[in-house]
Amino acid sequence: MKDSDAVMDDEFLAPVDYDPEATEADSEVEADDEEWEHAQGFPCTRRAVRIWVDEQTRHLTRVRLSTRWRERTAGRQLADSFTEAFFLANARVGSNLPSAPVPRPEPSSDLEFTWDNFQDLQERAAELMERSDELALRPPNEVRWADLTGTRATGLSSNGHVRVTLGLGGLTETVEFSSTWLQRARISEIADAVMSAHQSAYQRHVAPVFVPGEHEELAAELAQVQADMQAMMARGMA
C-alpha cells in the first residue's frame, strides 16, 4: 500500500463541499450535519483513523490514518482509536451470530393414526404446556438458557507487530500494536499491518454453534406434537 492510499488529510474528513478557508472545527460540525453514507467509512472520535467494512461479509476492507494521527491521539493509544471506529462499524453492520432455529418438524414417520394415539398426543401437549408455564415462573438463575459455543480468533500481521482479536461473531474486538514499532512506523506500514492481521484472523475464525436451552428444547417438543396432531386430523384416524 502506498502512503497516499493510507493517508487521510483534513479534506478527506470533511464533506464534499469542504471550504479550505473554514476552521477545522467548523468543517467537522458541517460533516456531522451531512447524511452519513457507507462509502464514507467509520472514523474514530478524534478523526485519527477511518475504516471501511463490507456490509455483507462484515470484513475490514480498507484502513486510512490522518497525517496528524500522533497529534490527534495525544494522551491516548492508537488502539483506542481503532476500538472506537470498529464500535461504530460493528453497530452498523450488525452481528452474524447464529440464533435459535424456528421449529418446522415433519410428522413422525412411525405415527399410527388411531384415536388412542391422538389422545396420547393431547395429553403430551397438555404436559408440555404445564412445563412451559412452570419454566416461565422459574427464577432466571435456575433456567438453562441457550448459549453459543466457540472461541475468539486472533490474527497476527505478517510483520508480527499488530494483533487483532475477533469476537465469536467474527467482528473486531481489539487491535493491538507493538509500541516500539509504532513509534517509527510509517502510515502505510500501519495500515498494511492492520489489514494483514485481520486477514489472518478471518482465516482462523470458526462460526460458533448455537446450543439450545430449556425454552428452545420445549418449543421443539411442542412443535413436534402439534405437527403429529395436525397430520392425524388431516388424514383421518382409524
Whole-angstrom distance, CA of residue 155 vs CA of residue 113: 57
State which residues form the domain around 127: 115-146+212-235
Number of H helices, E strands in the chain: 9, 9
35 & 25 share domain = yes
Q: Please check whether residues 124 and 82 belong to one and the same domain.
A: no
Can you name the residues that pair with 64 across neighbouring β-strands? Answer: 50
> Global pTM?
0.71
Quote the CA–CA distance of 84 and 189 in Å, as a whole number.
21
Supply 208's cell numbers.
460458533
The reported pLDDT for the residue numbered 103 is 72
Same domain, 14 and 60: yes
pLDDT band at 10 (very low <50, low <70, confident <90, very high): very low
Q: Is residue 50 part of a domain?
A: yes
Report the SS3 class of residue 149: strand
Report the number of distinct structural domains present in the chain: 2
Shared-domain flag, residues 178 and 220: no
Most confident of 27-41, 81-95, 185-199: 185-199
pLDDT tens sequence across 100-123: 777 788 888 777 778 888 899 999
Mean pLDDT of the residues in the chain = 85
Same domain flag for 29 and 135: no
C-alpha atoms less than 13 angstroms from C-alpha of 149 in its C-beta half-sphere: 5
Q: Is the domain of 45 the same as that of 142? A: no
Q: How many C-beta atoms lie closer than 10 Å to residue 114's C-beta?
A: 12
Task: Evaluate whether residue 135 is within a structural domain.
Answer: yes
Q: Which three cell numbers stand for residue 223?
A: 412443535
Q: Are residues 47 and 90 in the same domain?
A: yes
Count CB atoms within 10 A of the CB of residue 54. 12
Question: Is the CB of residue 47 less than 8 Å from the CB of residue 13?
Answer: yes
